[in-house]
Chains A and B, each alone.
Chain A
C-alpha cells in the first residue's frame, strides 16, 4: 500500500457498513489514515462521508465491519470511547456553550480539582496555541466570536483533551478565504507534529492544496484512495461523480432588461437594534442575474427578506415595477399582502428546512406551502401540488423513496432541489435565491445554475446570493458586493476579477457603480 508500512496506520476501517432503514449510508467501506498525514475524504453530497466519520466519533455504531486504531481492533460505542482513543471530531455545527469563555469551553467536562486555577489552565492552553500557531483570545465569550474563532475553540478543545487524530467536517464551508488559509497553516503545523488529520470536503482546490492523500466515496461506496501529488481536479472529479462533467457555466446575454426592483436607501435593524443593512440602494433588472457577494452575515439575508416582506425597513423604500410599468410600493407590505396583490416573488431562503420547507412533511405538502390558498372554499386542493411534486421529482431527479417521504430525511441536495423546484414552478417575476448550491454536489449545482438561467431567459429578475466567487463571476451579469451591511459596489461580472471583489468584501471603499 503505497510507501507507508501498514503498521504506521493510525486508523484502519475495514468493510464498514451502515444503514438507516432502507437507506444505505456506507457499504463495505475501507479507509486508512497514517501517522502524520492529512487525508481528505471527498465525495458528493449524500455519499456517506459524514456518517462514516460519525462512526469513528462514536455517534453511530456500524452495522458491520472492523475498526483498528494503531493496529488494535477497537469498538467505539460512544463519543467517550472515541475520546479515549485520541480521536476528536469537529462537527459542522459547533457544540459550545455561548455564555462561557473560550478557556472555560475548552476545559468543560474534564476532570480536575474542585477549585480551578484558571490562570494555570490558561497558561497551559496558551502553550498549545503557540505550539500550533492558533490565534485566540481565551477570555472572549463564545457569543462574541466569529464562526472561525468558534471553530478554533473546537479544535483547541480537542487538542487539549489529547486528541491526536482530528476529524474536521467541512471546516471551510463557513470561512472566508483568509480564514481558510490560516486554518490550513495550523493543520499543517499539526501534521508536522505527528498528528493525523481527516478533513471531509467537496472542494477540490482545498483537497489539492492541503492533503497528502484523498479517499473518495461515491453513493456510500468506497471508490479508492490516491496520493494527492498524482491527482488533478479532473481526475478527482471523475472519481467522485463517476463520469466526466463539463466545468463551465453558460451565461446568455440579458435580453431587453427592464428595471424590476428599485431599492432606495433601505435600512434594516435587528432585534438588538444594530443596523444589519444600512442605506442600501440598488436596481435589479429583468432578464439578468444579479449576484450578491459578501462575507457571511453582511446583510445578504436581510436584503432578500426585506424585499419579500419578511422584515421591515426602518428607512427608505422598495419599488416594484410591474409589466405595464406601474410602480408598486412594497416597503410597507407583508408577505401576505404582496401575494394577495398578485406579485409573484419566489424566494429560496438560506435556511431550507427551518424556513423554506416543513421538515416533517412530504413533497406534496411542501408544495402546498405556496399554493394551499388556491381555489375557492375551505378545502385545500391537493391534486395540483401532488402533480407538481411528481414532476419535480422526475425533472430534477430527486432521490426519495416516495413523494410523501418527509423532506427532512432527504439529503441536502435533494432538499434543495425540492425547494428550488417549487419556487421556480410559480413562474416568478422575481426569483431570489440564497446560497442555492451550498452543500450540493457538482451535478446538482449545474442543474441549479441551469434552472436559474432558464428563469433569466424567460425574463425573470434573478437575484442570487452566493459564496463561491468563481461561480458568481461565471454565472451572474452584475455582482453587488456587501460589506458589514453596506453596499460597497456593483461590478460587471464579465470584467470584474476575484481580487477586486474580495477587496470590496473586506474593505468599505466605495466603488463606481457599473
Chain B
C-alpha cells in the first residue's frame, strides 16, 4: 500500500483531429527549431557563422538556375523511385527492392539503345521505356508471385534481388564495355544521341520532371478513385476482410508489384536515357532505400512525397556545397540533415497528441 500520492507531471492525451492550420504551424516551428539547433551545433563545432553556412546550403541547391534545375530533376527521379514503393507499402508489402527494379529497368533501356541504334527514332522512344518498364515489372513480380503462392518473406526476397540486379548490371558492363578496357559502357550512343530522352527547347531537365509529375497525378487518382486502388487498401488493412469481400488477394499482390516494379523501371529508363546516358552498378546509388523514407515521410501521399523528395535532395546538394566551400567533410551536412529529420519526425507526436500538465493550482482551490 505505498502508492504515489503525487499526480504525474504530465500525461499524454490523444488529439482528435489537429486542424490543418495547427499541423502546418507545428511543422514550421519544428523546422525553425531544427535550424536553431543546427546553428548552435555549427558554432560549437566549427566556430563559423551559421548564416553563412545556411547561405551556402541554399546556394548549392538552388543558387543558379542550372543548379535549381538539377536539384529539381534529381528530386523528380527520387520521387519516381518513391512511387515504386508507395503502392506496395499501402498494401503492407515491404518492397525494399526498388534499387534492383531501377537497375534492371536501366539495363533493359541500355540494351535497347545499344542494339536498336539503327531503328527509327519513334521506335526507340517507345521501345526504350517499354523495355525498362517490362524489366522492372518482372523484377517486381518475382517476389510477389512467391509471396502470393507460398507466403515467402518479401523483405528478404526483394532485398536479395537487389544484389542479383547489381551483378546483372556488372555483367552487362563487361559485355558492352566501351571503349574496351575502360570497365564502363561509356556514354551510350554519344554520337547522334540516339534514344536519348529529348530536350524541350534547350532544356534537357524538364521532360523527366514532367513525366514524374504526370505520374504523381496518375497515381493519386489510381490509389484514391479506382477499383484497383481500393483493392490495394483493403488487402493492406486486412487480408481476411479482402477474402470476405471476394477480392482475389493473390492477383492484387502480383498486379500491384508489377505496377511498382514498372514504376521502378521508369526511373531506370529516366536515369539511363535521360540523365547519365550510361549504366553502372552504382546507378541507383541507394535511392531505392531513400525512397522508402520519402514514401513514409510523405505518408504515402504523392503530393506530400513531392515535398519530401525535394527537401531531401535540396539538403544533399546544399551539403556538397558546404563541404567544398568551407572545407568541411560531407559528414557535417549529414549531421544537419539528421537534426532536421529528428525535428520533423518528432513533431508528428505533437500533431497527434498533446501533453496535459499537472494542475498547480489544485491545492490552492482546496484550501
Tell me the A residues contacting B by CB distance below 8 Å.
20-22, 61, 63, 69-70, 73-77, 81, 84-86, 309-310, 334-336, 338-339, 347, 349, 351, 354-361, 365, 368-370, 372-373, 378-380, 382
Residue on B nearest A372 in the bound complex, by CB: B230
> Is A368 a contact partner of B230 (Cβ separation < 8 A)?
yes
Evaluate contact between A379 and B238: CB separation under 8 angstroms: no
In the bound complex, CA of A84 to CA of B237 (Å) = 39
Contact partners of B231 in chain A: CB under 8 A: 372
Q: Contact between A380 and B226 (Cβ–Cβ < 8 Å)?
A: yes
CB neighbours of A63 from chain B (8 A): 13, 356
Q: Is the interface of A mostly helix, strand, loop or mixed?
A: loop
Asked if B238 contacts A77 (CB within 8 A), the reply is no
Contact between chains at A355 and B16 (CB < 8 Å): no
Closest partner residue, chain B, to A81 (CB atom) = B3
Partner of A77, one of B4, B240, B244: B4
**A379 — which chain B residues lie within 8 A by C-beta?**
225-227
Q: Given A21-B17, A369-B245, A378-B227, are A355 and B240 neighbors across the interface (CB < 8 Å)?
A: yes
Chain B 239-269: CB-based contact to A (< 8 A → 1; otherwise 0): 0110111111000000000000000000000
The answer to whether B248 and A22 have CB atoms under 8 Å apart is: no
Complex contacts, A21 vs chain B, CB 8 Å: 14-17
Q: Is B21 an interface residue (CB 8 A)?
A: no
Determine the chain A residues whose CB is within 8 A of the CB of B241 once the complex forms.
354-358, 369
Contact with A along B201-233 (1 / 0, CB 8 A): 000000000000000000000000111111101
List residues of chain B with CB within 8 A of the CB of A355: 238, 240-241, 244
Q: Nearest B residue to A311 by beta-carbon distance?
A: B243
Question: Shortest beta-carbon distance, B289 to chain A, in Å?
Answer: 27
- B19 contacts partner chain A, Cβ-Cβ < 8 Å: no
Contacts of B13 in A (CB 8 A): 63
CA distance A332 to B231 in the complex (A): 24
A74 close to B238 (CB less than 8 A):
no
Question: Assuming the A-B contacts A20-B14, A21-B17, A77-B8, are A378 and B244 also in contact, with contact meaning beta carbons closer than 8 angstroms in the complex?
Answer: no
Interface residue? B234 (CB, 8 A): yes
Residue pairs across A and B with Cβ atoms less than 8 A apart, 23 shown, are A21-B14, A21-B15, A63-B13, A74-B3, A75-B6, A75-B8, A77-B4, A84-B2, A84-B3, A310-B243, A339-B246, A351-B240, A354-B240, A354-B241, A355-B241, A358-B234, A358-B237, A360-B237, A365-B230, A365-B233, A369-B241, A369-B245, A378-B227
**Chain B: which residue is nearest A85 at the CB level?**
B3
A373→B226 CA distance, assembly (Å): 10
Complex CA gap A61/B11 in Å reads 8
Q: Is B45 located at the chain interface by the 8 A CB criterion?
A: no
In the complex, what residue of chain A is closest to B221 when comparing beta carbons? A379
Of chain A, the residue at the smallest CB distance from B226 is A378
Option from B2, B5, B245 in Cβ contact (under 8 Å) with A73:
B5
**How many angstroms between the C-alpha atoms of A76 and B11 in the bound complex?**
12
CA distance A354 to B230 in the complex (A): 17
A306–B322 CA distance with the chains assembled, in angstroms: 66
Could you tell me the distance between the alpha carbons of A65 and B114 in the complex, rounded to whole angstroms? 77
Q: How far is the CB of A303 from chain B (nearest CB, A)?
A: 16
B363 interface residue per 8 A CB criterion:
no
Q: A349, B244: Cβ atoms under 8 Å? A: yes
Closest to A380 in B: B227
- Please determine whether A86 and B1 come into contact, CB atoms closer than 8 angstroms: yes
Query: When chains A and B are docked, how far (Å) is the Cα of A234 from the Cα of B249?
Result: 50
What are the residues of chain B within 8 A of A76 when measuring CB–CB?
Answer: 3
Q: Please report the C-alpha to C-alpha distance between residue A22 and residue B15 in the assembled complex, in whole angstroms.
A: 9
List of A residues within 8 angstroms of B17 by Cβ: 21
**Which residues on A sit within 8 Å (CB–CB) of B246?**
309, 334-336, 338-339
Q: Which residues of A contact B226 (CB under 8 A)?
A: 378-380
A310–B246 alpha-carbon span in the complex (Å): 9
CA distance A358 to B245 in the complex (A): 10
Is the Cβ of B4 less than 8 Å from the Cβ of A358? no
Assess whether B237 is in contact with A75, with CB atoms less than 8 Å apart.
Answer: no
